[in-house]
Amino acid sequence: MIFPNATEHHQHIIVIGSAYPEDVGDIQRIADARLGPGYISAANLLADPRQTVFAAWRGHRLAGFLSASLSSLADIQRDMPALGALLAGQPESSGPIGFLHAVAVDKAHEKQGIGTELIAYALDTFFLPHKTSMAITTAWSDNQGVHVGGPLHRNGFRKIGYLADYWREDSLARGYECPTCGKPPCRCTASIFAKSLLVAPKC
């Protein structure tokens, strides 16, 4: 199987492309370990036509994944009112919005630039071709800091606010465990990051 967009990093080859159904087991393993047991169902994620899933491979091993979708301010205000209220003050929010839902890297491959490259790949091959005006994400924050903060900053995202207890009701409703809080409810804060994708007009 040949995957697109191979890039060299630390004298190893990182290959990034669309995730495949046969990747379900590895995505589930990484998601449970890094995001909490039950937070993501990889099988449902790959079958959801509203979301696109990219994966990063090192050799024959899946090292990380990212899920993303296209949205609008109206959709976000309907489904996530607190987040929608925060985004309403952003000038780029009137256009299509790219939403990074989850970024996770296998612990054995962390701190090697894989999360940074996954985000860059999603921006370049998914959001920009669909003419999104901004990209956003709700970054998990706990007493150790913002877990994906480095890759977001390296891709030009800026923090625009935060929402306390962001996953509380969702964790209670779905019963997943937070890596920090353990059994629900999750009390972690969501740091909201955004990046403008508007192209400045040429003079």
pLDDT digit string, tens, across residues 17-67: 999 999 999 999 999 999 999 999 999 999 999 999 999 999 889 999 999
Q: How far is Cα 7 from Cα 11, in angstroms, rounded to an integer?
A: 10
Q: How far is Cα 107 from Cα 172, in angstroms, rounded to an integer?
A: 27
> CATH homologous superfamily of domain 6-196?
Gcn5-related N-acetyltransferase (GNAT) (3.40.630.30)
How far the first Cα of the chain sits from its last, in Å, is: 45
Q: CB-hemisphere CA count at 13 Å for 129?
A: 6
Contact in structure between 138 and 152 (CB atoms under 8 Å)? no
Q: How far is Cα 30 from Cα 84, in angstroms, rounded to an integer?
A: 29
Would you state the pLDDT for residue 185?
A: 94
**Per-residue tens of pLDDT for the chain, all 203 residues:** 333 444 444 446 889 999 999 999 999 999 999 999 999 999 999 999 999 999 999 988 999 999 999 999 999 999 999 999 999 988 899 999 999 999 999 999 999 999 999 999 999 999 999 999 999 999 988 877 788 889 999 999 999 999 999 999 999 999 999 988 999 999 999 999 999 998 654 54
Would you state the pLDDT for residue 31?
A: 96
Structure tokens, 127: 């959001």
Contact in structure between 63 and 114 (CB atoms under 8 Å)? yes
Would you state the pLDDT for residue 6?
A: 42
Contact in structure between 117 and 7 (CB atoms under 8 Å)? yes
Contact in structure between 92 and 81 (CB atoms under 8 Å)? no
Would you state the pLDDT for residue 12?
A: 67
Would you state the pLDDT for residue 10?
A: 42
Amino acid at 61: R
Would you state the pLDDT for residue 44?
A: 96
Query: Around Cβ 133, how many Cβ atoms within 10 Å?
Result: 19
Over its C-alpha atoms, the chain yields an Rg (Å, rounded) of 17
